Structure 1
Amino acid sequence: MNYLSSIYKINPKINFNNYRYIRYYSQLGPQLPKCNFNAKNNKPKLSATDIESIHKLNLNPCLKPWYRKPVVIKQGYMQYVWDNDNKRYLDMFGGIVTTSIGHCHPKLVEETTKQLSKLWHTSSIYYNEEIHEYAKALAEKLPDSLNNIFFCNSGSEANDIAILMARLYTKSYDIISLRNAYHGDSLSTQPLCGVQSWKFPIPLHFGVHHSTNADPYSGRYGGSNCRDSIVQTTRHCECALNECNACDRYIEDFQQLFDSTLPKKICGFIAESIQGVGGVVQFPKDFLKRAYHLVRQRHGVCIADEVQTGFGRTGTHFWGFEGHGVVPDIVTMAKSIGNGFPLAAVATTSEIAKTLTEASYFNTFGGNPLASCVGLNVLKIIEDENLQNNSHKMGTKLLRDLQKLRDNYPDIVGDVRGKGLMIGVELTSDTKLRKPMIKSDFDEILENCRDMGLLIGRGGPNGNVFRVKPPMCINEEDIDFTINVLQKAFDLHKEKIVKKQ
């Protein structure tokens, strides 16, 4: 008996056009996996009404919560969070791809607490053990040439530093980014973003050029053998074995940018290994390798944005760029690096790093002892708990289970893609035409998932892609729960569509 049949047995007169009924029946969903942690059921300091009032009055209007009734999170533990009503949720978005080893990981809490009582902050005019120990450990995770580390506080700041060094090193200004890319929201990184929703109508885009996004699912070219993923698009592909016509076509577009718009010498090229905010878009095989080659022919440097794909999340490699068979000149990282603590870094060669000595460069909080302690222990926990391998194993299971959902719900799920625990599920209103699901329908599915205890991300230029990027400690029971919740949310959506017809 499927989910909707069980609902009809409870109440055969249910009207699925009624939002209140949908909310009620969505809460009859699957049971969350057991958890041996009990959140403290203390009375909240602020009521939901107080929070709503303060939010509107004292917080900037850019902070827009999801859901009709925003979730007030009070506690986190590993892959779970609790709200102010003590309801538990499975966090399959990881604080926007940030909580890598798990919320309030006991070992990280223990080591950070020790550091809090030892030394919080000192500027770079003095030495401290923590930054040196951490810099050495992080450099050992990177290619040998990328042994100079700049510590900072966010991914946007890391990309700021990378762009500055690239322009100083090459003595050129023009930099290439991809349409649909996201690289931050600062004054110098906004121009790199290729998603309209992140654009303000001010003159920022000097020297930034966007090339065609190499998207095998919704781009101009692509087919069923293009991606480095165990799940391929259902789009027809005429490529022979070990060939990719889509990659050839996208590289032709890339070359046209050089031939028509750019000077003979350029600054560089920045790209994510898998596009994150853009909806977990994977490029055709060899696209990045061939793009890097063209950039270096024009004396440019190649920047890998590993803010979302780094630290073992893709499963097969510690860094996303390794899956493309390339070695960048500069690597930027944030999010998972600190498991939610404000921490980021830029890694590059000693020659490129020296460019920032041409004038004074200083970062007050970058690599302070507390941040360095957090970062070092995140690295240790990833290694000790084999979380990269868990990302590979759990990601493989989740992708295969999502592929079955796609095949069972062809009118709802257009594409499943990703690698490790960096996964996207694109919802459509017309799968054959790859037409994005409208916002109101997507929002309702998202609400149903929340009601059943599943927190999941959204992204893509049309906001119709589930971004599934949980803490890397999830297990098979969490995956089964996720699939069951999505199945029930899709059933509710299908039933509503039938009722409307």
Structure 2
Amino acid sequence: MQSYIGPEQVLKKREQYFYPCTSHFYRNPPQLVKGEMQYLFGHDGKRYTDFFAGVSVVASGHCNPEIAERTAEQLRTLQHTCTIYLTQPNVDLAERLAGVLPGGLRRTFFVNSGSEANEGALLLARMHTGRRGFLALEQGLHGRTYLTMSVTGLQMWRTDPQLAQDTDVTFIPRPYERGLSADEAARRSIAALEAALAEKGDTIAAMIAEPIQGNAGIVAPADWYFAEVKRLLEQHGVLLIADEIQTGFGRTGRMFAMDRYGVTPDILTMAKALGSGIPVAGFATTDEIAASLNRPSASTFGGNPVSSVTALAVLDYIEAHRLPERAERLGDLLRGGLTRLAARFPQHVSEVRGAGLMLGAELCAEEPERGAKLVDDVLEAMLDRGYIIGKNGVNRNVLAFQPPLVIAEDDVRGMLDALEAVLAELA
């Protein structure tokens, strides 16, 4: 077995050389050293079935050989030039994306991360409309750059306390509230949107929203919500930016989550699953809106040959293996199992929500502090049993299930059996 420094030494070096803001899961975390499709391996050789996928990133699997080989070949051939020179992979990728993006979205600006993609989309909206203001949903998460942090409503990720002084961003209630039906919560959000547009619609460039809020607890709105949002925004010349960083490329059972609502946004942002572990991201829009971003701009690494070839391989794999359909089918299996556990352990599992293979189970919703502790206990016990699952939510009391879309039916059933045993022990 290859020699590794081990978790204790990794933690020691993190403490010495990382910023104190960097945290980690687990009281006794393993040192992860290898990945194979839906599996991760620790330094001691223990195998873990991954139900978090690096927060929805490796949707096509860890070190997928069909993708990794093409990445390695490009790495050996031409690694980097920048967009000021002509190469084929990035134009091929832009053309390919135009074939899978919804509606008339056909122009893509490539960057490296979801934060950059959202930052670029917000800039584009300002350039196109000539307005400064933005609308955003409470509890949303859109990035760690300054502007994307400004439109982030989830307090734990609004790092700079000076953000409270930003008057360019107006938050409206998200279309979810415990105790309200999906329709009631959506109507409350729409009423707030109407009021905001009536007051300052002529100063708003765009509204940015996740089709399903990820880090805020995997919250999906009523099916009709985004169609009504789009209708109201169009009345005031306000653009809709769909943040598909977590939801894109099959995760929710559709290529893009907005497809579930029958809505084409004006700008769509993408990252994570597009590279399945290789940094690649972008923001896409129509010919008309793209024409407004006409002053000199570039991304040094955005759309480099390696990331572009990787993304093309990812899109090939998604299509060949029908990953959106797979996510829908296995998501139904997973949701059914979690719903049964909620019925058996109502004192623990308050609600199951989400779509496809992006599901959340909220624990002890009425006592969120107890729920957050229980989530940590569940994560530890599941790790011992060889399963890695995530956590999120406004109160960090939501179990997050966002596995690689290559997960097998047996993996889902095995995880559900382990989770049932853990909940029974904790009861």
Corresponding residue number in structure 2 for 1:325: 262
Deviates more, 1:140-149 or 1:305-314: 140-149
Corresponding residue number in structure 2 for 1:256: 195
Distance 1:437-1:284 versus aligned 2 partners, 3 A rule: farther
**Identical aligned pairs, as a percentage?**
35
Indicate whether 1:213 and 2:174 are aligned: yes
Q: Distance in 2 between matches of 1:128 and 1:435?
A: 52
2:175 touches 2:187 (CA, 8 Å); kept in 1?
Answer: no
Correspondent of 1:485 among 410, 414, 418? 418
Corresponding residue number in structure 2 for 1:310: 248
Q: Distance in 2 between matches of 1:143 and 1:336?
A: 17
Correspondent of 1:299 among 218, 237, 240? 237
**1:9-31 residue CA offsets vs partner (Å, 9 max, x unmatched):** xxxxxxxxxxxxxxxxxxxxxxx
Correspondent of 2:303 among 346, 350, 367? 367
Q: Give TM-score scaled by structure 2 length.
A: 0.96
Offset of residue 397 of structure 1: 0.6
Q: Give TM-score scaled by structure 1 length.
A: 0.82
Instruction: Decide which structure has the larger Cα Rg and report it.
Output: 1
Q: Distance in 2 between matches of 1:140 and 1:369?
A: 20
**1:56-102 residue CA offsets vs partner (Å, 9 max, x unmatched):** 11122222111111221000000000011111101000011101100
Aligned length, in residue pairs: 425
Corresponding residue number in structure 2 for 1:34: none
1:221 touches 1:249 (CA, 8 Å); kept in 2?
Answer: no
Offset of residue 338 of structure 1: 0.3
Root-mean-square deviation (CA, aligned residues, Å) is: 1.5
Considering fraction of residues, name the structure with more helix: 2
SS in 2 for 1:424: strand
Offset of residue 493 of structure 1: 1.3
Q: Distance in 2 between matches of 1:72 and 1:62?
A: 20
Offset of residue 246 of structure 1: 4.0
**1:389-408 residue CA offsets vs partner (Å, 9 max, x unmatched):** 11111111110111101111
Q: Distance in 2 between matches of 1:350 and 1:106?
A: 36
Q: Distance in 2 between matches of 1:186 and 1:247?
A: 29
Deviates more, 1:154-163 or 1:104-113: 104-113
What one-letter code is carried by the residue in structure 2 that aligns with 1:396? D
What one-letter code is carried by the residue in structure 2 that aligns with 1:332? T
SS in 2 for 1:270: strand
Offset of residue 53 of structure 1: 1.8
Corresponding residue number in structure 1 for 2:17: 58
Correspondent of 1:356 among 290, 293, 314? 293
1:331 touches 1:348 (CA, 8 Å); kept in 2?
Answer: yes
2:102 touches 2:259 (CA, 8 Å); kept in 1?
Answer: no
What one-letter code is carried by the residue in structure 2 that aligns with 1:208? V
Structure 1 unaligned residues grouped into runs of 5+: 1-40, 227-243, 495-501
Q: Distance in 2 between matches of 1:294 and 1:156?
A: 27
Offset of residue 457 of structure 1: 0.6
Corresponding residue number in structure 1 for 2:162: 202
What one-letter code is carried by the residue in structure 1 that aligns with 2:275? G
Offset of residue 192 of structure 1: 0.9
Correspondent of 2:358 among 422, 441, 453? 422
Indicate whether 1:463 and 2:423 are aligned: no
Q: Distance in 2 between matches of 1:69 and 1:480?
A: 26
Corresponding residue number in structure 2 for 1:117: 76
Indicate whether 1:274 and 2:212 are aligned: yes
SS in 2 for 1:402: helix
Distance 1:488-1:50 versus aligned 2 partners, 3 A rule: same
Deviates more, 1:48-57 or 1:286-295: 48-57
